[in-house]
């Protein structure tokens, strides 16, 4: 049966449309498109009902096999999302709201973003936050630019424990600027303090670290903050927000700017996005902060109200004086982060963090008991840790994937000298049964090597 039989237009109407645009036939219409890029067929099936469509999609999804049990992190995490998050964020007044340029008709959106900023400040121990950025990597790059502007210097020191994805974004951001970037190699999954402090000098604008590190090690940063400040540099910390339910906040450790990715705060993984980036800082740096900032005020009648304030965005002032060319924010995703935090509350958030830590410790104990498996991390960890295996971690992950287990993130693609290393992530969603299954599968896989 031909495509015309399925088309809602008659052959005569198709010929008339082709004649109107000067094409002899459908072949000529699509001739500018290379053959290898064209659709295999324009013979589309007849329309079906919603019920039939859902059945069809379920059948297609089943071809993927059984769902994977995820022990992968490295920046995006498989956390529980309370039902209230999507329920409230899906309300039309939030879901369809646009840029709140007119405060008199945008008070709901502005107040939500103001409360989000307040929550981020409390979480990070900082004094000011903006209304969100695109993601954690761009937030860290924007923090680097903040430090360069605030100090008037042109040198950055980045610890190698910062995510390789974030480091790549920073290099891209600064590629055409006269900025020196020095990266310090980590030690045993943590910060090489001696090398990091030695790298600081009077030309350094900022020291950029991640806590926990990309390898999962939790660091105490107070001494590093003091050393950076002694040199006149800022300390920028990329933080994993869930860990802040248990780990001392970067603000308490002396950080000047704190950033991170908000995906783990009520946003689904969704094949890598969207989520939001958060950025917070000491109040003295607020005029260097990129993006939107919502402030609280009163109207002419003394009533509480909210407005966009301290606008240093390129849309509002001379472009060359703008703090950043970021023109928007991830308002709906940030709202999900706010709903997530407030639905859990202080004690609930701490309990969530404890679940992550405790389950990861159980997994760490069981996995390192396997012959040939050792722990790379010297220090404490939160819900991620790095294992050294007796063979290529990539090969192990591929073989366990066939058993329905995503065993972790192999590091060979990012750190060539760590081909045998695997970052394992355990969130509150992983059960004892699943962790035991991972340990058994890894043990069996490694025993195959010896026999």
Residue 169's pLDDT is what? 97
| 3-class DSSP state of 441 | helix
pLDDT band with cut points at 50, 70 and 90 for residue 3: very low
Using the Cα atoms of residue 96, residue 101, residue 107 and residue 112 in order, give the sign of their dihedral.
positive
In the beta sheet, which residues pair with residue 280? 129, 258
Closest alpha carbon to 278 in 253, 242, 305, 306: 242
Of 29, 41, 39, the C-alpha closest to 5 is: 41
Establish whether domains 69-79+346-450 and 83-340 are of one fold. Answer: no
Q: What is the mean pLDDT of the chain?
A: 91
Q: What pLDDT is stored for residue 327 in this prediction?
A: 64
Q: How confident is the model at residue 2 (pLDDT cuts 50, 70, 90)?
A: very low
CA distance 375 to 183: 24
Distance CA 137, CA 277 (A): 8
204-211 sheet: strands from edge to edge: 128-129, 277-281, 257-261, 234-239, 204-211, 155-159, 180-184
What is the rounded (10 degree) CA torsion for 97, 100, 106, 109? 60
- pLDDT category, 8, cuts 50, 70, 90? very low
DSSP state of 319: G
Cis peptide before 155 (omega within 30 of 0): no
The pLDDT of residue 449: 64
Interval 402-412: pLDDT, tens: 999 999 999 99
Q: What is the pLDDT of residues 363-391, one digit of tens each?
A: 999 999 999 999 999 999 999 999 999 99
Higher-pLDDT residue of 408, 1: 408
Q: Which tokens sit at 121?
A: 């400040």
CATH class of 83-340: alpha beta
Two tokens at 378?
């010297």
Which has more pLDDT, 251 or 94? 251
% of the chain beyond a pLDDT of 70:
94
Q: Cα(79)–Cα(436) distance, rounded to whole angstroms?
A: 19
405-423 mean pLDDT: 95
What does the block give as tokens for 307? 């407005």
Average pLDDT of the residues in 107-113: 94
Q: Give 44-83 as a 3 state SS string.
A: CCCCCCHHHHHHHHHHHHHCCCCCCEECCCCCCCCCCCCH
pLDDT tens, residue by residue, 294-317: 999 998 899 999 998 887 555 566
Taking Cα atoms as reference points, which of 311, 257, 283, 294 lies closest to residue 142? 257
Residues ≥6 apart with Cβ < 8 Å to 407: 71, 396, 397, 400, 401, 422, 424, 438, 441, 442
Best CA proximity match to 237, nearest among 67, 342, 123, 331? 123
Q: Where are the chain's structural domains?
A: 3-62, 69-79+346-450, 83-340
Cα–Cα distance, 421 to 385 (Å, whole number): 10
Retrieve residue 93's tokens.
Answer: 């007044």
The rounded Cα 31 to chain-centroid distance in angstroms is 41
Q: Which fold has domain 69-79+346-450?
A: 3.90.1150
Residues 6+ apart with CB under 8 A from 399: 445
* Mean pLDDT calculated for residue range 264-277: 92
């Amino acid at each position: 049966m031909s495509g015309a039989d399925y088309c809602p237009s008659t052959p005569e109407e198709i010929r008339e449309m082709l004649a109107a645009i000067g094409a002899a036939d459908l072949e000529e219409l699509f001739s500018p498109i290379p053959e290898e890029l064209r659709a295999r067929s324009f013979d589309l099936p007849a329309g079906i009902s919603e019920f039939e469509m859902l059945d069809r999609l379920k059948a297609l999804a089943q071809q993927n096999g059984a769902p994977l049990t995820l022990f992968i992190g490295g920046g995006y995490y498989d956390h529980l999302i309370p039902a209230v998050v999507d329920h409230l964020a899906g309300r039309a007044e939030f879901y369809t709201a646009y840029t709140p340029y007119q405060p008199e008709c945008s008070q709901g959106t502005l107040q939500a973003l103001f409360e989000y900023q307040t929550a981020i400040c409390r979480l990070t121990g900082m004094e000011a936050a903006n209304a969100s950025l695109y993601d954690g990597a761009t937030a860290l790059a924007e923090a680097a630019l903040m430090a360069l502007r605030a100090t008037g210097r042109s040198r950055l020191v980045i610890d190698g424990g910062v995510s390789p994805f974030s480091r790549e974004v920073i290099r891209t951001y600064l590629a055409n600027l006269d900025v020196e970037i020095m990266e310090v190699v980590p030690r045993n999954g943590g910060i090489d303090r001696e090398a990091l402090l030695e790298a600081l000098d009077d030309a350094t604008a900022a020291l950029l670290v991640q806590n926990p590190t990309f390898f999962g090690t939790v660091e105490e940063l107070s001494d590093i903050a003091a050393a950076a400040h002694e040199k006149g540099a800022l300390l920028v910390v990329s933080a994993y927000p869930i860990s802040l339910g248990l780990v001392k906040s970067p603000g308490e450790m002396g950080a000047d700017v704190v950033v991170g990715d908000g995906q783990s705060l009520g946003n689904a993984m969704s094949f890598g996005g969207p989520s939001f980036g958060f950025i917070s800082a000491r109040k003295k740096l607020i005029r260097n902060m990129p993006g939107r900032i919502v402030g609280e005020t009163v109207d002419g009648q003394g009533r509480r109200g909210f407005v966009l304030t301290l606008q240093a965005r390129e849309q509002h002032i001379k472009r060359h004086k703008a703090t950043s060319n970021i023109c928007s924010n991830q308002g709906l995703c940030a709202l999900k982060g706010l709903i997530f935090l407030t639905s859990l509350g202080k004690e609930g958030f701490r309990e969530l963090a404890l679940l992550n830590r405790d389950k990861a410790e159980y997994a760490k104990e069981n996995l390192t008991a396997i012959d040939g498996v050792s722990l790379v991390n010297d220090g404490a960890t939160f819900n991620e840790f790095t294992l050294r295996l007796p063979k290529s971690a990539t090969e192990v992950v591929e073989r366990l994937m066939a058993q329905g287990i995503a065993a972790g993130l192999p590091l060979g693609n990012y750190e060539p000298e760590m081909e045998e290393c695997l970052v394992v992530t355990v969130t509150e969603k992983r059960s004892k049964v699943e962790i035991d299954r991972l340990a058994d599968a890894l043990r069996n896989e490694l025993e195959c090597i010896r026999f």
